[in-house]
Structure 1
């Protein structure tokens, strides 16, 4: 199997970059307002993604994108923005090693929301893992 087509590979990279995000952000927000820090981060992400789209030729006109897709991408963007604002405010006040595990309770919420709203199925073993993630995050945070 090609590593670049493995969801596990990309998920692991996501975890690594999320960890780096917490560490870099904690240092970066020491002397500025957390909302300004979130804005700067967002601009960097926007420019980086624009460059990636340009370099790979992946940009396409938005016309073929359905209204339903637009609605859910906008909602996702709003949720992301709210998450980032809250995350940076929490980092400004708390320790990265305590804030990040609470933030990662999103893993638990994704499992619950996936079952509740997307009709996804989890086995007893999957639920045990979700419970362990929740307990582990709380142990690390408190």
Structure 2
């Protein structure tokens, strides 16, 4: 188990499971509240849980030692996360979770394209086939018919 818990795949699969629960819980939670306020409440809870984890595990480090470039990209990531969450909760408020989540997961396709375009990552033909299938699958699941 320890070797498995040290692998990226283990954590990615846990992330997928929690993301699925997030969609279901959020869809129920946003039923009788404005989606932006729901996002704020969720964000406060996430920040509190993360602050507790960092404190308990002593993973903090002096903020002055963190490079400016790191702050810049974490800030940009934070803005993108906030925008994503606001859009996601609005979509859940308006649509079915079973259709919203697959379209949201088109981010997988975009990450692959952006990773190649901006980070110099390389994908094989088989990897690209998978990306195309993910995109097609997301669109098929999201289709109401």
TM-score interval for Structure 1 and Structure 2 normalised by the shorter chain: over 0.9
Q: TM-score normalised to the size of structure 2?
A: 0.97
> What do residues 32-61 of structure 1 show as CA deviations (whole Å, max 9, x unaligned)?
000000000000000000000011011112
User: Could you say what secondary structure the match of 1:97 adopts?
Assistant: helix
In structure 2, the residue matched to 1:69 is 70
User: Could you say what secondary structure the match of 1:37 adopts?
Assistant: helix
User: Could you say what secondary structure the match of 1:2 adopts?
Assistant: helix
Shift, 1:19, TM fit: 0.3
User: Could you say what secondary structure the match of 2:63 adopts?
Assistant: coil
Is 1:58 the counterpart of 2:59 in the alignment?
yes
Match runs of 1:29-108 below 5 Å: 29-108=30-109
Alpha-carbon RMSD: 0.7
Aligned residues: 142
In structure 1, the residue matched to 2:18 is 17
**Aligned equivalents of 2:95, 2:62: Cα separation in 1:** 42
Q: TM-score normalised to the size of structure 1?
A: 0.99
The unaligned stretches of length 5 or more in structure 2 are none
Shift, 1:3, TM fit: 1.9
**Aligned equivalents of 1:58, 1:30: Cα separation in 2:** 37
**Aligned equivalents of 1:2, 1:55: Cα separation in 2:** 24
Where do 4+ consecutive residues of structure 1 move more than 6 Å?
Answer: none
Query: Which of 27-36 and 2-11 deviates more?
Result: 2-11
**Aligned equivalents of 1:62, 1:128: Cα separation in 2:** 43
The unaligned stretches of length 5 or more in structure 1 are none
User: Could you say what secondary structure the match of 2:64 adopts?
Assistant: coil
**Aligned equivalents of 1:4, 1:81: Cα separation in 2:** 29
In structure 1, the residue matched to 2:5 is 4
